[in-house]
Amino acid sequence: MTGAESYRRRIEASLADGNRFLALYAASDGSLVRTLLAAPDGSIQRVTVQSEDGRIPSIVDLAGAAGWDEREAHDLHGVRFAGHAPLRPLVDHDADLGRWTVPIAGPDAYQVAVGPIHAGVIESGHFRFHVVGDRILHLDARLFYKHRGLEQAAEGSSLEDGIAFVSRACAACAVANGVAYAQACEDALGLRPTAELARARTILLELERTWNHLNDIAAICAGVGFAAGNASFAALTERARRLNALLTGHRFLFGSVSVGHSALTLDAEAVRAAREILAELRTDSARSWRELLFNASFQNRLPDIGIVSAEDARRLGTVGPAARAAGLSEDARVHSPQLAYEGFTPIVPRRASGDVQARVEQRALELLQTFDILERLLAAPVSAATADPGIAEEAIGIGRTESPRGATTCVVERTGDRIDRLHLRTGSYANWPSVAHAAVNNLLPDFPLINKSFELCYACADR
């Protein structure tokens, strides 16, 4: 544990060494704050600082990605971050508009409020646009409308039961969140997955990525009003979900991840059927993708909209396909020794310009990678598997996976078999500030398209 005076120096030195901010969270009583940073080799550094009279120095000027984390720790646990000013509420929804929005003034500037209730089947989110004409000057995004308190509810539960809380944070990333949690528990318990357990979890992660990427391309088609493209990729998404149900009994793969073991079993017939369905999905998705490539009205809507440059992506802590579309070849799968990603290399589009076009092309490229990974991993039947003891036990465990939306980090602090503190920081949580940044200087009617090109989860913030 470090003191407040040396805390900033340690964070600054770590970032200067090439480490990247991962997460920041407070203890339940606000007495201390832990900051996680990832090294280029994938190892994770943990810096813990004791608060002094409920206050610690802010690091938001050193790591812009810590902005939401500090605001959340302040709202939920009362930690005051010296130097983070104004410290606007994030989870605490104050009725005063001026407390959570950035003031914009000038000739012809006005506000447009969208949400928090939307026409689609999505969770609540309020977007407050500051505009001149149709040009967006600034966007304040307010989420956390249905904050469910999953982390606090998990406290006192057994490590085995805790996975139910994490898996329900988000249906779209139930496997990614569940595997990150299982890894954190196993890290604390001194367990290491066997090769078969690693293979089973990687299959589940890539099945989840398959339907998500197909669904995200469908959403982008909807964002430009291209109904044929939306229908085509929505149908492919449904077929991918039916494959999930065939293999695991659930379209969203619920209940397929456990701490310390895997119950997934696929005999030769199931593996053969899965490979056949995946081959058909690969062929049909390639055909649908060609239709998008040669549709001029669709393609003309994508370039130079909602840009997040590589420099801004680093500053904001953008992760996942959105970061890779900006030219950052970072992917948690590269450093995943507990999973079966041997030899994996991230891929980025040739035109890594960080706009809507780059983000949709990134998903198409990653779909091909995912089909290749699944073809390799489903070359033989899958058996039930368990983790083996292998390292010293710890009070704190950390797990990290690459969800369809980016790197997800889970921390479990325990006493024996009981959870003292659970913290989940998802790829969607990391990327919401990037959506607000991408909207600036674009036209208001383009925001639905920009938003869908990230296709983030609202429920991850409502955890």
Same domain flag for 11 and 69: yes
Q: What pLDDT score does 97 carry?
A: 86
Structural domain count, the chain:
3
Q: What is the pLDDT of residues 19-46, one digit of tens each?
A: 999 999 998 888 899 999 999 999 999 9
Give the closest residue to 21 by CA, choosing from 463, 461, 409.
Answer: 409
Based on the fold, state whether residues 57 and 163 are members of the same structural domain: no
Same domain, yes or no: 183 and 248: yes
Of 82, 112, 127, the residue at which a domain comes to its end is 82
As a whole number of angstroms, the distance between CA 20 and CA 155 comes to 28
The verdict on residue 461 lying in a domain is no
Whether pLDDT at 4 is above 80? no
CATH of the domain at 164: 1.10.645.10
- 64 and 104 belong to one structural domain: no
Residue 315: C-alpha distances to residues 10, 63, 312, 320, 447 (Å): 18, 7, 5, 15, 22
pTM for this structure? 0.95
Q: pLDDT-based confidence at 328, cuts 50/70/90? A: very high
Is residue 385 located within the same domain as residue 274? yes
Flag whether 51 is in a domain: yes
Q: 215 and 237 in contact (C-beta within 8 Å)?
A: yes
Among the candidates 48, 82, 116, a domain finishes at: 82
| Predicted confidence band of residue 375 (pLDDT cuts 50, 70, 90) | very high
Domain membership flag for residue 463: no
Q: Is 394 exposed, middle or buried (0-12, 13-18, 19+ CB in 10 A)?
A: middle
* 38, containing H or E segment: strand 32-38
Q: Indicate whether 197 belongs to any domain.
A: yes
Instruction: Render pLDDT for 138-191 as a digit per residue (tens, 0 to 9).
Output: 999 999 998 888 999 999 999 999 999 999 899 999 999 999 999 999 999 999
Q: Which domain holds residue 118?
A: 99-142
The answer to whether residues 110 and 59 belong to one domain is: no
What integer pLDDT is reported at residue 175 of this predicted model? 98
Assess whether 39 and 71 both reside in one domain: yes
Q: Alpha helix locations (H) across 192-325?
A: 195-223, 227-248, 268-293, 296-299, 310-316, 320-325
Q: Is the peptide bond before 116 cis (omega within 30 degrees of 0)?
A: yes
Q: Is the pLDDT of residue 230 over 90?
A: yes
Answer whether residue 443 is part of any domain. yes
- Give domain status of residue 462, yes or no: no
What angle do helix axes 427-439 and 67-77 make, rounded to 10 degrees? 120
